[in-house]
Amino acid sequence: MNRQAQAVILFLVGVAVLRAGFTDLYLRYVKAELRPLLLLAGAVLIVAAAATVWYERRRTRASGGEEHEGEGSQPGEGGHVHREPRVSWLLVLPLVALILVAPPALGSYSAMRAGTALQQQPWGYPDLPSGDPLRLDLADYAGRAVYDHGRSLGDRRVKVTGFVALDGDGTPYLIRMALNCCAADAQPVKVGMSGELPPVLRPDTWLEVTGTYTGKRTKDPVNDGVIPYIKVSEAKPVRAPRDPYGES
């Protein structure tokens, strides 16, 4: 690939990174706290592209405008010059698509092919604040249900949010994807649902569920992890959150 193509690709990657960083699009790739590093990386890529163009123009002027390797050709055997195939510019197309089209966040397809993952068991759980129902992060509910056996939950009504996934038998789960740093290491936190459920549940639909702790649990067939249940008293569809991987 010649230096002009390299500069264009660096520039487009930088633009894509900056576009994601200046909008909520970056939340589909990395955790929110990594935004400053993402913006810095985009700026560095654009500066590198500009430096590549400047260096190439300077070298062209120094050589008197003669055709050389940086202008799209390479010396071959016997002094002959071979032009690089123009098909290499097709590498730009995926980058243009990345700028114009926003990919969806990970959903039920990915979640049901990975084992449920809870955070490491803490030493204990603090008392829940007041509120009825109490809004709780899905991972927090799952951790209290599994490790604390629901003692800190009692009969409190809680409200949790996640997207729907169905296993091969049609059993519905409420899921949030948890990140360590980026979408590449995302792992699902799964909570089974019983009780008053909507007659039709579509995968990837986001639900706000109100319910209470139940001792019912099952094992994830993917990794034998424990999946707790919530006894649903109310469930309603909601819009996908701004940060699909964040707490809610």
pLDDT of residue 73 exceeding 60, the answer is: no
Which of 73-87, 117-131, 182-196, 223-237 has the highest average model confidence (pLDDT)?
Answer: 223-237
pLDDT in tens, 7-52: 888 888 888 888 877 887 777 777 777 788 888 988 998 888 888 8
Per-residue tokens: 74: 């390479």
Residue 70: pLDDT band (50, 70, 90) is very low
**94-101 average pLDDT score:** 68
**116-133 average pLDDT score:** 81
109-237 is classed in which CATH architecture?
Answer: Beta Barrel (2.40)
Residues of the chain with CATH 2.40.50.140: 109-237
